[in-house]
Amino acid sequence: MNIVFRVDASAQIGSGHVMRCLTLAKRYRREGHTVSFVMRALPSNLITFVEEAGFSVYSLPYVKSRQMLTGYLAWLSVTQEQDAQETTAVLRTMGQVDRLIVDHYALDAAWETVCRPYAREIMVIDDLANRQHDADILLDQNFYENAAERYVGLVPHECRLLLGPQHALLRDEFYEIKPRRRTGELYNILIFYGGSDLTDETSKALRALFSMNMHGVEVDVVVGKTNPQMESVRKRCADHKNIRYHCQVENMAELMNAADLALGAGGTTTWERLALGLPSIVTAIADNQIEICENCVHAGLIDYLGCAEAVTEGDLVRAVTAFREGRGAASRTLLDAAPEGGVLFLTNNSNTLPLLAWIGERANVCHYTGVLTPAMLHRLKPQLVVSFNYVHLIKEDILQLLAGRIVNLHISYLPWNRGSSPNIWSFIEDTPKGVTIHVLDQGLDTGAVIAQRVVDFDEREDTLATSYQKLIDVIIGLFKEHWDRILSGNYNTTPQRGKGTYHTKKDLETFLAGRRLTWEMTITEFKERFVRGKSEI
C-alpha cells in the first residue's frame, strides 16, 4: 500500500503526535508498504527527525494566516481550507494513495472530505472526540470510562473504531522488553513531561527532588528536541552526580523499565508506563489530558496531582514521600482495573455503542476492540461475551474457553449474506433481509440461530444509511427482548438451514470496480446505478 501521514510537531503541539505516527509508520514499512509524511514547517517541526528515520517528508510552508485563528486551529497556522488545498496538491503527485492517516487536532471532516477523492481510505488518530470526522477508521488509544459513547454521531455509519489502550501505538521496544517485577522500594526515578514541556514541569520536579533527602536514589531526566528549556535543564542536571540527562532518546522502554517511579505528563507516554507497570505521579500539561487522567486515577492506575498550573513543588514532594512510605501509586496495568465477571462487549463500530450503554445499566460490562487472548479471558472470567460488528476473527482456543458463552449480532437474515457488508449485498443480490443473533462458532457467521427477524424497507424512501441504521435498531431491539435468556444461557437454538451466501470486503470492491457509492442514495437509486447498470458513477 501507499500510505501517507498528515501530522505536525511544534513547540506548541509537542512531539507526541509525530512520535506515535512514526511508530505506526515503521510497522507499515516493515510490512513492505510505501510510507511518507506531509508536515508543515512550523517552528520546532521535527521534519529532519522524521527524515533521519528514513521517511520522505513533503514540507508545507509555514505562513501565518491573515485570519485570526483560535483554539487548535492556531496550531495549524493556516485555515483548514488552505491546508487541504496544499495537502491535496501533494497527494496528486503521489499516484494512488491507499491510506491517508491524519493526526491533528486542528483538522476535521471539512478537511477530510476535501482530501477524500485522493485516498482510497482515511484513518484518523484522535484523542478529543470533539468534532465530526469523515473517516473509514478512527483510532483513540485513550482510557475513558465512557469510551462507548464518545464518538456516537461524530463518525460515519461504517467507520471502524479502534478504541482504548489495547490499540496504543507503542514502539517495538515496549513489546520486546520484559516488564520487571518491582518491590516498592525507590532506587530510580524517571522524569519525562513530554517532548515540549512548555510549562517546564521538568524543572519543577527537579526542584522538588532537590528539597528532599534523595540519598541512594538515581534520577533519569528525559527532554525532547522541542523543549525550549532543555539547555537550562541540562545544566541543572550536570550539577548532580546522581542525575542523568537524556535528550530525544531511542531507549525509553529501557529507561522506564529500570525506574521504580515516574514523574510525568498525562499524554501518550501514559500507555507506555502502564504497559511496563511503572508507577506514575502524573500532572496534566494540556486540557485534553485532564479527563484521561481523571479516568485513570478513578481506575487506580496512576497518582494524579492535577493541572500543571495548580501543581506545586510541595505536591510533588508529598506524592513522592507517600510512594516511599508505601501509600502512593501502585504498580498496576489496565487489565488489573477491569472487573471480573459480567459482559465482555466486542465491537469496532460506533453504531453498536447504544447497546453497550444499555447493557452497562444492567450488568458489569467491559468494552474491548482488540484481539482476544486466553490470558485476558482467564483474568476477566466473563459470564457472557457479545460480538457486534467486531472485526477480529476469534480463534478456536478462545471459543473452547468460552464454551458457548459468546454470541454474535449480525445484520443479515442468515444464512444469507455472511461476512462483509451484508446489507449492501442483500440489495445487490435481492436476498432475504433481516437480522440474526447466533451462537459464535468456528465458522464465519455460521453458528446456530438464537433469534431472527425479517426487516422490510421502502426502497424509494430508505437510503443506504437509513436502511443500515434500521437494521442496527432492529437487532438492538431483538437483543433486548432476549437479554435475560442470553445472559443466563437459557435459550434454544436452531441450526442455519441451506447454503446461503458469503462475501468478503474484496468482493464488494470488485463489484464496484472503482465506482463510488454514497450512503445518501436511496436503495432504488443504488440498484439503478449499480445493479441494473443504467448509469455509471
> Are 148 and 117 spatial neighbours (Cβ–Cβ below 8 Å)?
no
122-125 and 188-192 beta bridge pairing: unpaired
Residue 171 annotated as part of some ligand binding site: yes
Q: In what order do the strands lie in the sheet with 99-103?
A: 56-60, 34-40, 2-7, 99-103, 122-125, 137-140, 160-163
Residue 361 annotated as part of some ligand binding site: no
CB within 8 A of 161, min separation 6: which ones?
138, 140, 151, 155, 347, 348, 349, 350, 369
> Are 49 and 225 spatial neighbours (Cβ–Cβ below 8 Å)?
yes
Report the candidate in 82, 83, 86, 94 with the shortest Cα–Cα distance to residue 118: 94
DSSP assignment, residue 179?
P
Half-sphere exposure at residue 312, Cβ-oriented, CA atoms within 13 angstroms: 4
> Rounded to the nearest 10 degrees, how much is the dihedral formed by the CA atoms of 370, 373, 376, 380?
90
For residue 164, what is its C-alpha cell? 482504548
> Are 256 and 190 spatial neighbours (Cβ–Cβ below 8 Å)?
yes
Q: Which residues pair with 189 in a beta bridge?
A: 219, 261
For residue 387, what is its C-alpha cell? 460480538
- DSSP string of 369-406? -S---HHHHHHH--SEEEEES--SPPPHHHHHHHTT-E
From the CA atom positions of the chain, what is the Rg in Å? 25
125/107 Cα distance (integer angstroms):
11
Find where cell 459468546 sits. Answer: 406
Long-range contacts, stretch 126-130, CB < 8 angstroms, 24+ apart: 127/288, 127/292, 128/288, 129/154
Active site residue 17: yes
Residues taking part in catalysis: 17
Annotated binding-site residues for substrate read 171, 272
Binding residue numbers: 171, 272
